[in-house]
Amino acid sequence: MKHYKPCWRLLALSLALALQVGPALGQVPDTTPVITSPAENTAVTTHPLTAADVETLVDGLLPYALKRGDIAGAVVTIVKDGQILFNKGYGVSDRETGKPVDPETTMFRPGSVSKLFTWIAVMQQVEAGRLDLDADVNQYLDFKIPATFDEPITMRHIMTHTAGFEETVKHLIVLGGDAPADLGKLLAGNIPARIFKPGVTAAYSNYATALAGYIVQRLSGEPYADYITRHILTPAGMPHSTMVQPLPPALAPFMSKGYESSRDPARPFEITNPAPAGALAASGADMGRFMIAVLNGGQGQNGRILKPETFAEMHKPQHRPLPGQKLAMGLGFYEQNRNGYRIMGHGGDTVLFHSDLALWLDEGVGLFISMNSTGDGTSPGPIRDQLRALIADRYFPAREPAPEPPTETVKRAVPVSGTFYTSRRVDSTLVSLTNLFGQGDLVTNSDGTVSFTLFRDYARLPKRWREVAPDRWQEVGTDSLMHTRTDASGRVTAITTDDYPAIFVFERVPASINKAWSLPALGVTLFLALFTVLWWPVAALVRRHYRQPHPLSGRPLLADRLVRVASLMALVSLGGMIGVMALAITPLMEGTILWLLRLLQLAGVLAVLGLVPAVWQAWHLWRQPAGLWARIRASLVVVMFLAVLWFIATFHLVSFSLNY
């Protein structure tokens, strides 16, 4: 699960971008870019990939990076030519006892890297003739995915993350749960809205992956975790790996503790409810044997898991989010190409663990890294990406220098600008409120380059891009590419970059929720609500000081009091929802704060009802002799309640269902 830390530190990328907390299985993706090219065109120097050389390289990065990032421990495994070349633990797996990471037996949670096992299980069903990748998946289910569009969802759509589902959050990861939810009931009872036509828009989905695993379970007649053990883990030779949650007693002692940082106490074991999207626990050595099996065309240590031609099909490009994009999505695996080499793999994040797997397919080399802490919240992504970049540039450098970009920028009839948000998002539930905070601006710089404020370098500075061909942009100083889609009027309508996997795009934000006006409007609404609430006791104290009676009585007094109570409810509802989205990420995923959400929704209903006395009060003041300030204040209060109603309705903050 990935990328946003089943792959979230919150939700998915929409929350990761909106709240700056990362992708996941839970946290997709991490917002740190995948580096796809060297920063400069330098002379090509090839170094032999040996155990001694790679140890020097990794040792030069990991100890300092983990310390700097406040991460307790990690494991790095590298395979080459069918053998584990390098397998080393760093730091501790148990901070309280000081137990070091054992790369052979210490188990980590690879998060969305688990999806690769689900995709292999799917292809095993294809090989067995039980599953057609291009058939309507409803024929394999005991419940029905609603027909939002004419086109049905197929397994090929699911494996390329183009099924079109919105993101889901509830029951994603539970810390310290007794057991995962029943997979079939979880999926049937929490079907997310379909917001894109199948096969068109890349939008990473944990739900869709879990759906694939459930189909494997139904077609095979075996529980999902048992199936993965019998048909993948055992033939691959992975004794310290399992999809069972919580861990079986025989494996529990080998599990690394998970930490928010190297200074915090260990957190409980994470239960991933959509298990096929991120339930794996595995040691570095076991992941090495898995990589060897994939690179060997499916031949594992103890048996075959897939035919070579099936793996070859999985590694073929299947979908590119935008035309001309360099990186593509395969069947489950996604491209991480660099320096002209084919690299397939997957990243993964849970709340606490952060991992990446990369395979140099033609060179027989694989890299796996996993970390057991979120640390400072920004380091896990750059660490794993930088390690992959170092391996690529030292042992697989570019065969020839990248061509120099044109000196002249492509001329556009319409200036490049706009506000965009990710396709991996929530549109139809209360979590859609995060769409207000996850928007980025595409702007033209004074030197003719453009920047997209969500594409940043490791210093968190916006990158600069120059258009070298229509809808194709090259980053200044590197050969990294950004791609856009332009409509007939010349407006940019979509953005993506080869710095990220091909699992989402950025689309133009509708004018109705554009942050340029909606965020200021939200701020003004909250200010007016707060002012109305505070004016109540202040006015009472002033009257008491001067021993003056309340100027209102009867119905006007009742309306005034109702307006102030409703204003307090508006403040509680909107402010509380923003706080939940920003601060209560884990409880939101676990579904343990449904009572709080219901209270906030009740406050929202009471706030909306305040519109009635507010309108009556304003009407009364404009009809009767009253001061201009009183009339203006009453009118502003009406506008405030209308804004509250709009925010609640637009972002679904009040609803009968609490599926999100």
Whether residue 473 sits in one domain with residue 436: yes
Give the pLDDT mean for 62-78.
97
Q: For 269-283, 349-363, 506-520, 609-623, which range has the lowest pLDDT when averaged over its residues?
A: 609-623
Q: 493, 512, 531 — which closes off a domain?
A: 512
Largest CA distance in the chain: 91
Q: Within 10 Å of residue 181's Cβ, how many Cβ atoms?
A: 18
Q: Which two three-digit tokens encode residue 73?
A: 């421990």
556 versus 273: the higher-pLDDT residue is 273
Helix ranges (H only) for 244-379 are: 284-295, 308-314
Whether residue 441 sits in one domain with residue 545: no
Whether residue 464 sits in one domain with residue 338: no
pLDDT at 37 over 80: no
Q: 512, 538, 555 — which closes off a domain?
A: 512
In a domain, 114, yes or no: yes
Q: pLDDT by residue (tens digit) across 627-636? A: 888 889 899 9
B/e letters for 380-397, b = 16+ CB within 10 Å, e = fewer, are bbbbbbbbbbbbbbbbbb
pLDDT at 112 over 70: yes
CA 629/CA 637 separation, integer angstroms: 12
CA 581/CA 561 separation, integer angstroms: 30
Q: 496, 512, 528 — which closes off a domain?
A: 512
- Number of residues that this document lists for the chain: 660
* DSSP string for 184-204: HHHHHH-PPPB-S-TTTS-B-
- For residues 548 and 621, the answer to whether their CB atoms sit within 8 Å is no
pLDDT at 36 over 80: no
Whether residue 422 sits in one domain with residue 330: no
* DSSP string for 579-624: HHHHH-HHHHHHTTTHHHHHHHHHHHHHHHHTHHHHHHHHHHHHHS
- For residues 632 and 621, the answer to whether their CB atoms sit within 8 Å is no
What's the CATH number where 141 sits? 3.40.710.10
pLDDT at 406 over 70: no
pLDDT for the residue 408: 67
pLDDT for the residue 555: 87
Instruction: Return the percentage of the chain with pLDDT > 70, whole number.
Output: 92
Domain count, the chain: 3
CA torsion through residues 542, 543, 548, 551, sign: positive
* DSSP string for 153-178: PBHHHHHTT-S-BPP--TTSEEET-S
Give the pLDDT mean for 383-410.
83
Whether residue 192 sits in one domain with residue 326: yes
CA 658/CA 597 separation, integer angstroms: 8
pLDDT category at 31 given cuts 50, 70, 90 is very low
Q: pLDDT by residue (tens digit) across 167-213? A: 999 999 999 888 899 999 999 999 999 999 999 999 999 999 999 99
Give the pLDDT mean for 453-466.
90
pLDDT at 409 over 80: no
In a domain, 209, yes or no: yes
pLDDT for the residue 10: 32
294 versus 657: the higher-pLDDT residue is 294
Whether residue 522 sits in one domain with residue 467: no
- Label residue 78 exposed, middle or buried (CB < 10 Å: 0-12, 13-18, 19+): buried
Please give the DSSP secondary-structure letter assigned to residue 264.
S
Q: pLDDT by residue (tens digit) across 211-266? A: 999 999 999 999 999 999 999 999 999 999 999 999 999 999 999 999 998 888 99
Report helix, strand and coil shares of the chain as percent, to nearest 5: 40, 20, 45
What pTM value is reported for the model? 0.91
Domain of 592, in residue numbers? 515-650
Please give the DSSP secondary-structure letter assigned to residue 326.
S
pLDDT for the residue 536: 79
- For residues 209 and 332, the answer to whether their CB atoms sit within 8 Å is no
DSSP collapsed to 3 states, 239-254: CCEECCCCCCCCCHHH
CA 471/CA 469 separation, integer angstroms: 6
Q: Which two three-digit tokens encode residue 225?
A: 């975790």
CA 197 vs CA 135, 191, 348: distances in Å:
16, 16, 26
Helix axes 380-395, 51-69, angle to 10 degrees: 160
Instruction: Return the percentage of the chain with pLDDT > 90, whole number.
Output: 78
pLDDT for the residue 324: 87
CA 91/CA 120 separation, integer angstroms: 32
Whether residue 44 sits in one domain with residue 142: yes
CA 617/CA 651 separation, integer angstroms: 28
Q: Return mean pLDDT, the chain.
A: 90
pLDDT category at 403 given cuts 50, 70, 90 is low
Q: pLDDT by residue (tens digit) across 121-177? A: 999 999 999 999 999 999 999 999 999 999 999 999 999 999 999 999 999 999 988
Q: For 158-172, 552-566, 609-623, which range has the lowest pLDDT when averaged over its residues?
A: 552-566
Give the pLDDT mean for 97-116.
98
Helix ranges (H only) for 432-514 are: none
In a domain, 3, yes or no: no
pLDDT at 473 over 50: yes
* DSSP string for 334-346: EE--BTTB-EEEE
CA torsion through residues 232, 177, 203, 220, sign: positive
Whether residue 346 sits in one domain with residue 384: yes
Whether residue 586 sits in one domain with residue 575: yes
Whether residue 296 sits in one domain with residue 263: yes
Give the pLDDT mean for 347-358.
97
Whether residue 502 sits in one domain with residue 539: no
pLDDT for the residue 45: 66
Helix ranges (H only) for 422-462 are: none
Whether residue 318 sits in one domain with residue 212: yes
Q: pLDDT by residue (tens digit) across 522-555? A: 999 999 999 999 987 887 788 788 888 877 778 8
What 3-state DSSP class applies to 511? helix
**Token pair 């079939």: residue:** 184
